Amino acid sequence: MAMQESKKKYFGGFQHRKFHDSKVCGCKMSLGVYLPEAYYAEESPVPVIYYLSGLTCTDENASQKSGIQRYADEHGIAVVFPDTSPRGHNVDGESDSWDFGVGAGFYINATESKWKHWKMYDYVTKELPVYLMEEFPNIDTTNASLMGHSMGGHGALTIFFKNYNKYKSVSAFSPICNPINCPWGKKAFGGYLGANLEAWKQYDATELAKGYKGPKTEIFVDQGTADSFLEEQLLPENLKAAVEANPSIDMRLEYRDGYDHSYFYIASFVEDHIQFHAKHLKAEF
Amino acid sequence: MAMQESKKKYFGGFQHRKFHDSKVCGCKMSLGVYLPEAYYAEESPVPVIYYLSGLTCTDENASQKSGIQRYADEHGIAVVFPDTSPRGHNVDGESDSWDFGVGAGFYINATESKWKHWKMYDYVTKELPVYLMEEFPNIDTTNASLMGHSMGGHGALTIFFKNYNKYKSVSAFSPICNPINCPWGKKAFGGYLGANLEAWKQYDATELAKGYKGPKTEIFVDQGTADSFLEEQLLPENLKAAVEANPSIDMRLEYRDGYDHSYFYIASFVEDHIQFHAKHLKAEF
């Protein structure tokens, strides 16, 4: 990973790549920040969407491949692309598997001492907004939404349910909807959180949906039918069942016929997601 | 490079990755092929744009980062993404520099015996259309246009000038417009063609524009003003001067204020290019 900051004009705005020292992760973290033309042109600050990426990704994959910036620029919304884990700690085994350790932070706070730096939940929800306010003062971090893909879809949903007062809306592409019941989730939660099932449930979208007691909300989940991870790992029907039992949550579940788990799929439908979030974010103006 | 063929739904069509045995390059070549929804839906075959990529790229960079497929799908045009050189010959020194050898075929037919497999001109203009007709019979390879970026912009322009009866239109992002007068071109042409300046001129867009005697045509060149290669390597003003002296060519030269040489720049303006080509390709219906 080239450690060089950059700023490149992209549609009406600029795609930034930044690095900053993270206290909670104990290392330098990279991130992408797309600032729409409205960031520079308008007096009022712009809303922001956090785009949380999936396993093996860095901050760059969605920045380069999702095509989200075109639509974010049209709607005057900033997009922040965090990395997917701490890097550079050289924890024994951190790079042995593609679904655990580096590139696989799962947006949780690890409690096992070996993984003490894996604090992606605090990084995204607490440290990153403060950094953004300092670095990009015309981003309104109080007018924020969440989206993500796969592991990042899990991150977006769980962060939203746990912080419904801090975010306006959530959407997800092919999210891991019930990690406590799938191999990816069991491996990650077991490694980071130990054997305590109650701790696991605090980071499980399906469990959190069961217990959600916030204001009436609508979540948007998008899923390709040709996704090879659908049946074993993603389990959207489990989330759907939980939501149907909770009158405080409506779920827009869009199955996309023939689409897989890739960025080609994301790019095909990301405009729908920006429109969904724009509706919730613009309501604040 | 993972050598696995794939087919992924993308907007209304499918992004294919294919491999085939190339006689002219003496090796297996990879390519991307985007087929729009119209390829499957309509009885009449669809037109095609060849997208030629720049130095260091494979067939995958533009496939994944340019965003061109959205617009190609809207207009019912197929897009073919060839690789940028032969691979796997293990010619001594082929990977020593990023601007010569592997990833740097320059869309010419090398005459120096050491580089005898570097026949990207014949590959793109002769072998690839035959392969496409066999593999994707609903692509109309007689209704074809060219576009490219940087080294690929040079390729698109020179192939068009030399074969104006075979292609309907040409456009280029930040093309190398006058390779015989820039460091990249001198290094490549010297290596592949030897010291014969007359041979170099046969692959130089500015020289070919001077001698173009085909029907009246309009070429479209797009250039970012913040492109760090602009002054030393790209030289669009040399091409512009040649075109202004030739009444058979009009040149639409768009300078884009503040954009650089990256895919962020390409993605910002690729819709304009598809519209330009659609006008020329649709004229055949």
Helix/strand/coil (H/E/C) assignment for every residue in B96-140: CECCEECCECCCCECCCHHHCCCEHHHHHHHHHHHHHHHHCCCEE
Task: Tell me what the pLDDT averaged over chain B comes to.
Answer: 96
Residue A56's φ and ψ, nearest 5 degrees, are: 75, -10
Which strands, in side-by-side order, build the sheet including A46-52? A6-10, A13-22, A27-35, A78-82, A46-52, A139-149, A170-173, A217-224, A249-256
Contacts of B15 in chain A (CB under 8 A): 264
Predicted local distance difference test score (pLDDT) of residue A2 = 55
Question: pLDDT-derived band of residue B1, with 50, 70 and 90 as boundaries?
Answer: very low
Rounded Cα–Cα distance for residues A139 and A147 (Å)? 17
For residue A7 the two structure tokens come to 């700023």
Question: Do the Cβ atoms of A49 and A79 come closer than 8 Å?
Answer: yes
**Tokens representing residue B3 in the block:** 């050598």
User: Residue B257: is its pLDDT beyond 50?
Assistant: yes
Q: Inter-chain contact A264–B226, Cβ cutoff 8 Å?
A: no
Tell whether A225 lies on the interface with B, counting CB pairs under 8 A: no
B197 part of contact set with chain A, CB < 8 Å: no
Give the pLDDT confidence score for residue B284 in this predicted structure: 45
The pLDDT, as a whole number, for residue B3 is 72
Burial class (CB in 10 A: 0-12, 13-18, 19+), B181: middle
The minimum CA-CA distance between B72 and chain A, rounded to whole Å, is: 13
- CB of B265 less than 8 A from some CB of A: yes
Are residues B268 and A224, on separate chains, in Cβ contact within 8 Å? no
Greatest pairwise CA separation for chain B in angstroms? 51
Taking the C-alpha atoms of residue B58 and residue B270, their distance in angstroms, rounded to an integer, is: 19
Residue B43 has pLDDT above 90, yes or no: no
Q: B178-231 pLDDT, tens per residue?
A: 999 999 999 999 999 999 999 999 999 999 999 999 999 999 999 999 999 999
Sequence-distant (≥ 6) Cβ neighbours of residue A276 within 8 angstroms: A169, A171, A220, A252
CATH class of A18-282: alpha beta
B150 is catalytic: yes
Q: Is the dihedral of CA B45, B46, B47, B51 positive or negative?
A: negative
Cα(A30)–Cα(A81) distance, integer angstroms = 9
Which single residue is written with the structure tokens 């390597």?
Answer: B233
Interface test with A, best of B173, B268, B270 (most A CBs within 10 A): B268
Pairing of strands B170-173, B217-224: parallel
Please tell me the distance in Å from A23's CA to the nearest CA on chain B: 31
pLDDT interval class at B2 (50, 70, 90): low
Reference A58, options A109, A91, A124, A105; nearest CA is A105
Whole-prediction pTM value? 0.95
Q: How far apart are CA A195 and CA A236, in angstroms?
A: 24
pLDDT value of position A283: 53
Residue B31's DSSP bridge partners are B18, B82
What single DSSP character describes residue B76?
T
In chain A, whose CA is at the least distance from the CA of B265?
A10
- Rounded Cα distance between A158 and B199, Å, is 63
Q: Is A260 on the interface with B (CB under 8 A)?
A: yes
Handedness of CA A99, A120, A220, B64 (dihedral sign): negative
A150 is catalytic: yes
Low-confidence ranges of chain A (pLDDT < 50): 1, 284-285
- For residue range A134-191, list pLDDT tens digits in order: 999 999 999 999 999 999 999 999 999 999 999 999 999 999 999 999 999 999 999 9
Mean pLDDT of B99-111: 98
Torsion angle in degrees (nearest 10) through CA of B191, B194, B199, B201: 50
Tell whether ipTM is more than 0.90: yes
**What is the pLDDT, as a whole number, of residue A124?**
98
B12-282 maps to CATH 3.40.50.720: no
Q: For position B283, what pLDDT does the model report?
A: 53
Evaluate whether B60 touches B31 at the Cβ level (below 8 Å).
Answer: no
Q: How far apart are CA B120 and CA B12, in angstroms?
A: 31
Q: CA of B213, closest CA in chain A: separation in Å?
A: 37
Q: What is residue A198's predicted lDDT score, i.e. its pLDDT? A: 97
Residue A81 touches partner B, C-beta closer than 8 Å: no
- Nearest Cα neighbor of B173 from B107, B103, B44, B260 is B260
What is the bridge-based pairing of β-strands B27-35 and B46-52? unpaired
**B226 interaction partners in chain A (CB closer than 8 Å):** 9
B262 to chain A: closest CA residue: A8
Distance in angstroms (rounded) separating the CA atoms of residues B156 and B87:
21
* Binary contact (B10, A226; C-beta < 8 A): no
Q: Which residues from B are below 8 Å from A69, CB to CB?
A: 264
Is B267's CB within 8 Å of A65's CB? Answer: no
CA B273 to chain centre: 13
Residue found under tokens 């920040």: A33
In chain B, what are the domain boundaries? 12-282
| Minimal CA separation from B258 to chain A, in Å | 6
Q: Compute the CA torsion angle B53, B58, B61, B63 (nearest 10 deg).
A: 80
Strand pairing partners for A100? A97
Q: Would you say the C-alpha torsion B216, B141, B11, B33 has a positive or negative sign?
A: negative
